[in-house]
Structure 1
Amino acid sequence: MLTVDLHVHSNRSDGSFSPTQLVDYACEKGLAAFALTDHDTIDGLEEAIRYAQELREEQNQAACAPAEASQDRGLQAAKRRAPEVIPGIEFSTEYMGQDVHVVGLYIDYRNQDFTGQLKAFVDSRTARNRKMCALLQKNGIPVSYEELTAEYPDAVITRAHYAKFLFSRGYVKTMSEAFDRYIGDDCPCYIPREKVTPVQAVELILAAGGIPILAHPVLYHMSDAQLDALTASLKEAGLVGLEAIYSTYNDADERRMRALAAKYGLAVSGGSDFHGTNKPGLDLAVGYGKLFVPYSVLEGLRKAAQEAASAP
């Protein structure tokens, strides 16, 4: 049965695999499709989509070549059957004082209004990171913003990058210590990000022609009433799907999320939230070993998006 993974990160945000490496790994895993959903950035999409297209062209050429000349190439192509790369994003938003993530699938990542909004987010992040570096310096950690970006040149800098940097330089003994002493919430070097609301994220995704999905709702540890209220408000704004299949869910979690999706007429989505080595033990396509997202989930999301677009 064909499988998909609709929640994947590259090193353009806080994953460890490059977009090209993700395509290769998806081939190895036999995925029919995966969504590259980096945090608040689309920087890896062009590379991943272009590389997957190149692999498909190689496969087509191998299939069309004379049998005696293409045997080896055909075998190689079969092993590297290119998945569909779904252009996506994961917005970090704030709702009632806590983080809530909204995934967008099939976004038009060349849409100028959309890219303009993302640039504003990047500019805000840059200002925040410079301030955090200044606070670290005041607390005896001589790290500059220039050093940080030189270490991670293609990434959207997150607190995970700070922790890795401090650990690699010997300023802390573990990455957890970096959060506990310096950059965790309410710590002396932490500055909160400027965030959009979940409703604004849904609206941005819709404006870019995408499919908005509420990511991993169980992780927010909301009461049933709070999660119900959030889902209702997002449905009214145009939410299409809800992540009911996820790496850390148990059977009861999945049943509860499927019931919530059904209550509000939302399609079910699912993904691993793969980050490479930055989330040890969590693998592409299978999560912690039991994740399974059939291709029918992607078909259901597409159908739901079409119906929503055609509704009066």
Structure 2
Amino acid sequence: MNPLLNADLHCHSVVSDGTLTPEALAHRAKGNGVELWALTDHDELGGQDRAMAAARDAGLPYLTGVEVSVTFAGITVHIVGLGMDHRHPELQDGLRATRGGREQRAREMSDDLARVGIHGVYEGALKYVGNPDLISRSHFARYLVEIGVCKDTSEVFRKYITEGKPGYVPHRWATLANAVGWITRSGGVAVIAHPGRYKLTTNEEFALFSEFKAHGGQGVEVMTGAHGQADYAKYAGFCQEFGLAASRGSDFHSPEESHTDLGQLPDLPGSLTPVWELLESRIHQ
């Protein structure tokens, strides 16, 4: 397949923490010139049938997708799965278990914010939640902007809901072995999402890539909304060093919040193997 394909293989709908429906995302992707699309909601497959049907109606080739939350070296890392059987029982059961702790974490976050004088945030955030099992920091951020605590969601994250701030509560997610195993055993390809975002030491990052590869992971996002030019070059090098395919995805959540729209990323470097070459038989036309 064409290495310069305008593929966007990472975005989120209202089924997790995006603001658009799967149908609206399919329409937006097609309108922006996307030639291969995947919906990758956090720890949730509930939007896959809708996304697939909408993509088919739009004449947009589609890959199933998910973004799995993983705890690695004490921080949260995300692993994108592409092209898997979204009805696979092991994958569904694993994601259900991963989602299970979100409500308790959200209530603890709300309690922490109440201690600094911001009350009722859990109840307020629920207004923004399409799926109550997947209440997240993004929903909290939208509510805090609504009530005027911060001017935008980026400010909320900086001031309140990142590590060391008053509304941050850590959560233990799946292990790296779990996530990669669920994806690969359901017929998909596992991809490290936006590696430039993680605050890992050089040794920790090397360990992440080494363990990911050892567990059967096959790809890494090189072009993604969270990366700049230096990241593009760095992770293109990691693809070659670790023998990984390269992926491309905006991580689009919302027209109002996301810096990079669907389909608006630079092309992958021609020297890399695009992840979609590993997935040709899994594409829904």
Q: 1:293 to 1:47 in 2, by over 3 A?
A: farther
Partner SS for 1:183: coil
1:41 paired to 2:44: yes
How far is the alpha carbon of 1:250 from its aligned partner? 4.3
- Equivalent position to 1:12, from 11, 15, 22: 15
1:292 paired to 2:267: yes
1:30 paired to 2:30: no
Unpaired runs of at least 5, structure 2: none
Partner SS for 1:148: helix
1:98 paired to 2:78: no
1:190 paired to 2:193: no
Paired residue total: 276
Q: 1:299 to 1:162 in 2, by over 3 A?
A: closer
The normalised TM-score by structure 1 is 0.77
Q: Quote the RMSD (CA, aligned, Å).
A: 2.8
1:217 paired to 2:195: yes
Match of 2:59 in 1: 82
Partner SS for 1:131: helix
Match of 2:126 in 1: 149
Deviations 1:212-239 (CA, angstroms, capped at 9, x unpaired): 0111222225454432222111111101
How far is the alpha carbon of 1:41 from its aligned partner? 1.6
- Equivalent position to 1:140, from 114, 117, 135: 117
Segment of structure 1 superposing worse, 28-37 or 270-279: 270-279
How far is the alpha carbon of 1:280 from its aligned partner? 3.9
Q: 1:190 to 1:300 in 2, by over 3 A?
A: same
Q: Distance in 2 between matches of 1:218 and 1:180?
A: 18
Deviations 1:142-167 (CA, angstroms, capped at 9, x unpaired): 31645432442336221121121122
Segment of structure 1 superposing worse, 180-189 or 92-101: 180-189
Q: Is the 8 A contact 1:242 1:266 kept in 2?
A: yes
1:160 paired to 2:138: yes
Whose radius of gyration is greater, 1 or 2?
Answer: 1
1:108 paired to 2:85: yes
Q: Distance in 2 between matches of 1:179 and 1:26?
A: 27
Identity %: 33
Q: 1:202 to 1:278 in 2, by over 3 A?
A: farther
How far is the alpha carbon of 1:23 from its aligned partner? 0.6
Deviations 1:93-122 (CA, angstroms, capped at 9, x unpaired): 222122221110012211222212222222
Partner SS for 1:34: strand
Q: 1:109 to 1:236 in 2, by over 3 A?
A: same
Q: Distance in 1 between matches of 2:148 and 2:233?
A: 45
Segment of structure 1 superposing worse, 178-187 or 124-133: 178-187
Q: 1:260 to 1:179 in 2, by over 3 A?
A: closer
Q: Distance in 2 between matches of 1:258 and 1:127?
A: 38
Q: 1:269 to 1:153 in 2, by over 3 A?
A: closer
Q: 1:123 to 1:16 in 2, by over 3 A?
A: same
- Equivalent position to 1:126, from 103, 112, 136: 103
How far is the alpha carbon of 1:179 from its aligned partner? 3.9
Partner SS for 2:34: coil
| Aligned AA (1:4) | A
Q: Is the 8 A contact 2:39 2:48 kept in 1?
A: yes
The normalised TM-score by structure 2 is 0.84
Deviations 1:13-67 (CA, angstroms, capped at 9, x unpaired): 22222110111011112222111111222222121112223x1xxxxxxxxxxxx
Deviations 1:233-290 (CA, angstroms, capped at 9, x unpaired): 1111101112222335444433332222222222121222222225343111113xxx
Match of 2:220 in 1: 242
Question: As a proportion of its length, which structure holds more helix?
Answer: 1
